[in-house]
Structure 1
Amino acid sequence: MTAVAEAVEPGQYDIPAEQYHADPVPGGSLSATGAKKILDCPARFKHALDNPEPPKRVFELGTAAHSIVLGDGPELAKIEHKDWRTKAAAADVKAARAAGKIPLKPAEYAAVYDMATALAADPEASELLAPGSGEAEQSLFWQGDGIWWRARLDWLRGDGIVDYKRAKSVKPEHLEKVIWEYRYHVQEHVYRSGVAALGLLPEPVQFRFIFQEPEPPYLVTVAELDPAAQDIGRLDVERAAFLYDHCRRTGEWPAYVPHTAVLSLPDWVQRQYR
């Protein structure tokens, strides 16, 4: 493992999240998040690339949970104000962010620690994230499909990858929809590919998700994708790599469709008129 790198070479790096997200690869690289965006719409991907948005509140809450559960990440700051719309609260929130901390309301602060306690009580999840069993927040950089890739792994163990996520419900049938909606199958294949390309683990690389609900009793489900889902992930990642390479070479970043769209009404509407 390498510390902060001045010139990026393929490998595993232990670098701050800000440096990773700023993309230190000269000319740019494609991440799992970028792959998801370009699959949706190349034009929207390019706009986001040129106009980065400030972190959204929901992402801050997710990062806070990661910091406590994984033992790595920004410090949490409990903002003791009932109303964050006041000038005093706004000033404290701004100061916390300026210091690199995540500002949380008292209830949010307590919930993050309660989530960590509940996860520690789950035998399978706690074993996967046991202290000393892996390395947290590892950044990978590699080349494949003619382009540079990057990934930031939550937890890299000697026997595979673990990714921790919040989910409204951890019922398996709900998680199947979540995986498709957020394209977690794409993320999984990108992470597997990076670990394999760098020779960090023997193939096939094992990947396990830990999903946890953010509301009491903070239920946990450990999950893996079946071979069909993994294959769809591979196909989607191959398509994302093609789009990224093609758009960069041509300078053309098309919208959803390059021609006049022919639209139908939803099937459920049409059925009412048959």
Structure 2
Amino acid sequence: MTLAPGIYRDLSDADYHADPCDHPSLSSTLARTLLNQSPLHAWTAHPKLNPDFEPVIKKTFDIGTAAHSSILGRGGDYRAVPENLLGSNGAASTKAAKEWIAEARAAGITPLKAAEVDQIGEMTDIAMKRLADHGVTLDPEHSETVVIAEINGVPCRAMVDNAPPDPDQPLYDFKTCENAAPDACLRAVMKYGYDVQARHYLDCWKAVTGEDRVFRFIFQEKSAPYEVCVVELLSDTLMMASKKTARAREIWGNCIRTNYWPGYPDGVVSLDLPEFFHGKWLERESADADHKQRYGRDVLDAVGRWQAPAAMAGE
């Protein structure tokens, strides 16, 4: 399958991840891999470049995958492992259960326990209510919209979780997490490079449609109360992210043209830890010196006496 630049609403998840472009294309995940690791890591993770490529399947992804399908109304199916196949302790450890799970995954079905299926139902109900409070409706007809674009001669692709047809509406990406508090969402954006994801999606969308859209993340917790936080990155963050996506495309284009995919630098790498790291130790030194000047003894002496057996026994 090879697709020309455009918007596609009926492409399967498997076909998208297999890369439906004429030439190996750059996704947001690969862009982050290029920037945070190396071209060699990106080559290894690309199904058209690496002849030994195998998709990564982890049990930890299952709740997120199933919630994604349920809330967006499109995507792979999920089902509970039949209880009669489970072990006496309720674990999917029997031969029959393992065979059922393997067959389900081969068919593109996410295997869950019955309690996890109920959990997905609760998450969906709460997400829909909270999104309605924000005036957000996720139309399944516009979920998992695939964008194939060419930007500065570099083939790019993105799968937008939900792309309302109204150009005044944002593009949405849904993510499950442990903590959806705003500060935790901020840390997740920095840790996982979601700023690059947002900019890559917006770049692809504009290259095909000419539209300047807003981009929002929907974070939902995977444990009760399954709270939801909708996040929009501000313009300064997206401007900086545009520098990163441009650099990722430049690296990708060069590697494709030269077929040279370097890993980490050769030789010994010299590292100097940042000032804030050294600052923590300097703060501790200052506090210890202040304690000694004020009380006439080292802080370690006070800690040692407090931890002594006699002190701990209350003697």
Q: TM-score, normalised by structure 2?
A: 0.78
Partner residue, 2:112: 104
Partner residue, 2:310: none
Indicate conservation of the 8 Å contact 2:170/2:214, yes or no. Answer: yes
User: 1:273 Cα deviation (Å)?
Assistant: 8.0
How has the CA–CA distance of structure 1 residues 240 and 130 changed in structure 2, closer, same or farther, with 3 Å as cutoff? closer
Indicate conservation of the 8 Å contact 2:138/2:162, yes or no. Answer: no
2:191 is the counterpart of 1:181: yes
**Aligned-residue CA RMSD in angstroms?**
2.1
Alignment of 1:59-208 (within 5 A): 59-79=61-81, 80=83, 81=86, 82-124=90-132, 127-131=135-139, 135-157=142-164, 158=166, 159-199=169-209, 202-203=211-212, 205-208=213-216
Matched residue SS, 1:149: strand
2:257 is the counterpart of 1:260: no
User: 1:44 Cα deviation (Å)?
Assistant: 1.5
Indicate conservation of the 8 Å contact 1:120/1:126, yes or no. Answer: no
Matched residue SS, 2:135: helix
Matched residue SS, 1:33: helix
Matched residue SS, 2:142: strand
How has the CA–CA distance of structure 1 residues 250 and 259 changed in structure 2, closer, same or farther, with 3 Å as cutoff? farther
Distance 2:195 2:103 in 1: 37
The C-alpha deviation readout for 1:182-235, integer Å capped at 9, x for no partner, is 1111111111111111116x32x1111111000000000111001121112111
Partner residue, 2:296: none
The C-alpha deviation readout for 1:31-87, integer Å capped at 9, x for no partner, is 011101111221211222223333222333222111110111112110123111211
Indicate conservation of the 8 Å contact 1:42/1:253, yes or no. Answer: yes
How has the CA–CA distance of structure 1 residues 265 and 160 changed in structure 2, closer, same or farther, with 3 Å as cutoff? closer
How has the CA–CA distance of structure 1 residues 225 and 155 changed in structure 2, closer, same or farther, with 3 Å as cutoff? same
2:19 is the counterpart of 1:23: yes
How has the CA–CA distance of structure 1 residues 114 and 137 changed in structure 2, closer, same or farther, with 3 Å as cutoff? same
Indicate conservation of the 8 Å contact 2:72/2:138, yes or no. Answer: no
Indicate conservation of the 8 Å contact 2:154/2:249, yes or no. Answer: yes
Instruction: Say which of 36, 39, 43 aligns to 2:35.
Output: 39
Matched residue SS, 1:121: helix
Indicate conservation of the 8 Å contact 2:30/2:45, yes or no. Answer: no
Instruction: After superposing the two structures, state which structure 1 stretch, 121-130 or 155-164, moved more.
Output: 121-130
User: 1:125 Cα deviation (Å)?
Assistant: 6.3
Indicate conservation of the 8 Å contact 1:147/1:241, yes or no. Answer: yes
Q: Where does structure 1 differ by over 3 angstroms across 4 or more consecutive aligned residues?
A: 123-127, 268-274
Higher helix content, 1 or 2: 2
User: 1:131 Cα deviation (Å)?
Assistant: 3.7
Indicate conservation of the 8 Å contact 1:119/1:126, yes or no. Answer: no
Aligned length: 266
Q: TM-score, normalised by structure 1?
A: 0.89
Matched residue SS, 1:198: helix
Distance 2:263 2:14 in 1: 29
Matched residue SS, 1:127: coil
Partner residue, 1:11: 6
User: 1:251 Cα deviation (Å)?
Assistant: 2.4
Indicate conservation of the 8 Å contact 2:7/2:147, yes or no. Answer: yes
- Residue type matched to 2:163 in 1? L
Distance 2:149 2:266 in 1: 32
Question: Greater RCO between the two (CA within 8 Å, min separation 6)?
Answer: 1
Specify every segment of 5 or more residues in structure 1 that has no aligned partner in the other structure, as ranges. 1-5
Specify every segment of 5 or more residues in structure 2 that has no aligned partner in the other structure, as ranges. 287-315
Instruction: After superposing the two structures, state which structure 1 stretch, 56-65 or 86-95, moved more.
Output: 56-65
- Residue type matched to 2:45 in 1? A
The C-alpha deviation readout for 1:128-149, integer Å capped at 9, x for no partner, is 23447x6011111010022100
How has the CA–CA distance of structure 1 residues 264 and 7 changed in structure 2, closer, same or farther, with 3 Å as cutoff? closer
